[in-house]
Amino acid sequence: MWSPSDDALLAGLGAGDEQSARAFVRRFQHRVYGLALSIVGDPQTAQDVAQDAFVRAWRFAASYDARRGPVITWLLTITRNAGIDVLRIRRPEPIDPESVLALQVPSADPHPDAVAVMSEEADVLRDALATLPVEQRRAVVLAAYAGRTAREVSEIEGIPLGTAKTRIRSGLLRLHADLEQERQSR
Amino acid sequence: MKQLSCAEFKELAPEFVFGLLDGADRVAAVAHLTICADCRGYVAELSATADALLLIGPEAEPPSGFEALVADRLRRERPRTDSRWHVLAAAAAAAVIGVVALSIGVYAGRSTAPQQALRRAPIVNATGEIGEVFLHQGDEKSWCYVSLTGAPNDGVYDVLATLKDGQVVVVERVSVRGGHGYYGKPLRVDADDIVRMTIDSVDGSGSYWADLST
């Protein structure tokens, strides 16, 4: 069965077409809600954040630039910003890094409507993240998926601020290097 | 404003690409990027990796009825923004003024009336007025309404508030199309503490401000 592209659905959402809007939400809701939940921690607030992300996507649909990346990346960036906005207003709940690491594990049974992002790049990144030194992986996961600043990572992990910054930066640079290597090998 | 060296910027860069920087650090980082092509390249590469991380991020089943809830919310919000921008701007300004009128009504039953419930200032750039900002100091919440009606450059802009103590707070990110954009929402800080609003394009192509110090 023919399925509209992500870009087409976003254009329909931006134009106010309700069918497109519903299809857009159906296609991305698991990823948007999942990221919102990992950032804010509780289901009710996560639902509010996810709703807010879709409203922002509708409002800013015209500013989406396909040359800068796929719709899903743009939408998840909006979701991350919406979640972090909430954390800034309401101080974040204490978090167990292991629970975020568990959330990060890709779902074994992905929803059929979810966009399958199974590119080689995603596989490389997943492997690279799994093989980072555990302290770097925890720091990167807390920053990327739980919206925690370096200062908050230092408090959660009981380490100096400088060490937290170094772990986030070293982990991110190593992931970047692995991705670059994969791109150059194509 | 704090001036960053490239080394200092690179220390902040991971938090910048994860969207975690706030206040003065974010403003300083954006300012550095406007003048340093090397760091723009560095942050573009890190951003690509940070964005790619989102693609392998967590998924979860939203509560049942989520799709319908979003559809309802979009339906409620749509009429406010589908009309022409100037009509929208007038309506939103009226809404802010309505909030103020309501507040004054509430205050009317009290012994003291608000001295300065609503403040308005023009948003300007080097060539003249391109919009306006309204700030409302409410009893429990403060509100901010920004209306751009003649921005020279379209794109995405950060709305920043400078407080009396010099702290800079990121208020929101707005999109400008055809020179028009608006933002209206409760503030996380007291409106009475704001002395200046700045609207900076994220790509460094434009900067506008409103003086609220008087």
Q: Counting runs of H as helices and runs of E as strands, what totals does chain B give? A: 5, 8
User: Which of B7 and B176 is assigned the larger pLDDT?
Assistant: B7
Chain B residues near residue A80 by CB distance under 8 angstroms: 18-19, 54
Q: Alpha-carbon distance B102 to B96, whole Å? A: 10
Res. B135 pLDDT band, cuts 50 70 90: confident
pTM value surpassing 0.90:
no
CB contact under 8 A, A149 and B20: yes
- How many CB atoms neighbour CB A98 within 10 A? 10
The whole-angstrom separation of Cα B157 and Cα B198 is 10
> Of chain B residues 84-143, which have a CB less than 8 A from chain A?
none
Does residue B52 or residue B156 have the better pLDDT?
B52
A120: which residues sit within 8 A by CB, 6+ positions away?
A182, A186
Is B118's pLDDT higher than 90?
no
Which tokens go with B20? 């975690």
**What's the pLDDT score for residue A93?**
64
The predicted-structure confidence for A77-102, as pLDDT tens digits, reads as follows 999 988 988 887 766 566 666 666 66
Are residues B71 and A21, on separate chains, in Cβ contact within 8 Å?
yes
- Say whether residue A33 is in contact with chain B using an 8 A CB cutoff: yes
- What is the value of ipTM here, to two decimals? 0.84
- Give the CA diameter of chain A: 55
For chain A, percent of residues with pLDDT exceeding 90: 47
Q: How far apart are CA B144 and CA A141, in angstroms?
A: 34
Tell which wins on pLDDT, A1 or A150: A150
Residue A56 to residue A177: CA distance in whole angstroms: 33
> What's the Cα-to-Cα distance from A134 to each of A125, A137, A159, A170, B17, rounded to whole Å?
15, 5, 14, 12, 21
pLDDT of A158 above 90: yes
Of B45, B67, B75, nearest to A29 by CB-CB distance is B67
B50: contact with A, CB 8 A cutoff: yes
Please give the pLDDT value at position B132.
83
Q: Hey, which residues 102-121 in chain A have their CB within 8 Å of chain B?
A: 103-104, 106-107, 110-111, 114, 117, 121
CA proximity to B38, closest of B2, B15, B10: B10
C-alpha angle with apex B14: B53 to A153, nearest 5 degrees? 90
pLDDT bin (cut points 50, 70, 90) of residue A150 is very high
